[in-house]
Amino acid sequence: MEALIFDMDGVLLDSMHLHAMAWKNAFMEAGISIDERDIFALEGENDSGIVKRVLGMNVNESIDMEAILTTLPERKHQLFGRDNVTLFNGVDDMLRQIKGKFRLAVVSGSDRKIVEMMMTKYFPGIFDVIVSGDDTENGKPAPDPYNKAVEMLKVSKEKCIVVENAILGVESAKNAGIFTIGIPTYLTRKELENADIVLHDHEELFRLIELLMRMLPGN
């Protein structure tokens, strides 16, 4: 194994509540009521994709999709910029431990400004490759984001592992043909059953990564 690819929100950062809050407020102004779990289920999709999916569930030709997309980024940037984000326990130590032993990438459906803000603040110099929701025409569940990450990592898919917590993220990684680990931070293990392996929590993830490290040549 040569590369580990992580989703950001819900795997590295305990931040999905901020995305849900921004989406709920944006849709509320447009006259649409959505539940937090609706956003959790759509996690990984880029912003325009989420709007299309939600509007598809709430057919209303008077809804201005562009108005929602115009106000959303600033809502998110304000929430993420107020120190409301926390890391899942042990994530920082784990990443610093494996840096240099594996090629590392993060693949997120969030816009590039938020991804870069979070990488600079919490993980400076850690990731070799960063792919945001702005970097591919088609977001998750299409394979494009993970295909782009593998291309930039210059590692074969057979030597990569993806860690995802979202239904669409798992689908995206599997569509790209990459071995995928599911971790249920906001959803249930049942909802992530399409992953190759579904863990129970981050502690189990850390133990698995330690095992992978022991299997590296020279260890």
Q: What is the pLDDT of residue 60?
A: 56
Domain boundary among 80, 106, 126: 80
In the chain, the number of structural domains is 2
In this structure, what CATH number is given to the domain that contains residue 99? 3.40.50.1000
Q: What is the pLDDT of residue 61?
A: 53
Same-domain status, 135 and 100: yes
Task: Take residue 32 and report the two structure tokens written for it.
Answer: 């649409």
Same-domain status, 28 and 96: no
Q: What is the pLDDT of residue 57?
A: 62
Same-domain status, 192 and 116: yes
Q: What is the pLDDT of residue 161?
A: 98
- Would residue 146 count as lying in a domain? yes
Same-domain status, 157 and 66: no
Which residue segment(s) compose the domain that 59 sits in?
16-80
Q: What is the pLDDT of residue 174?
A: 98
Same-domain status, 109 and 194: yes
Task: Using a cut of 0.75, tell me whether the model's pTM lies above it.
Answer: yes
Q: What is the pLDDT of residue 14?
A: 92
Same-domain status, 57 and 123: no
Q: What is the DSSP string of 67-117?
A: HHHHHHHHHHHHHHTTT--EEPTTHHHHHHHHBTTBEEEEE-SS-HHHHHH
Strand order in the sheet with 103-107: 129-131, 103-107, 3-6, 160-164, 179-182, 197-198
Same-domain status, 68 and 90: no
Q: Which residues pair with 86 in a beta bridge?
A: 14
| Arithmetic mean of pLDDT over the chain | 89
| Whether the Cβ atoms of residue 68 and residue 30 lie closer than 8 Å to each other | yes
Rg (CA), the chain: 17
Same-domain status, 25 and 105: no
Q: What is the pLDDT of residue 219?
A: 67
| Whether the Cβ atoms of residue 165 and residue 186 lie closer than 8 Å to each other | yes
- Would residue 219 count as lying in a domain? no
Consecutive 10-residue averages of pLDDT for the chain (219 residues): 96 89 80 80 76 68 69 78 85 96 96 92 96 92 97 98 96 98 94 97 96 86
Domain boundary among 80, 102, 123: 80
Same-domain status, 159 and 201: yes
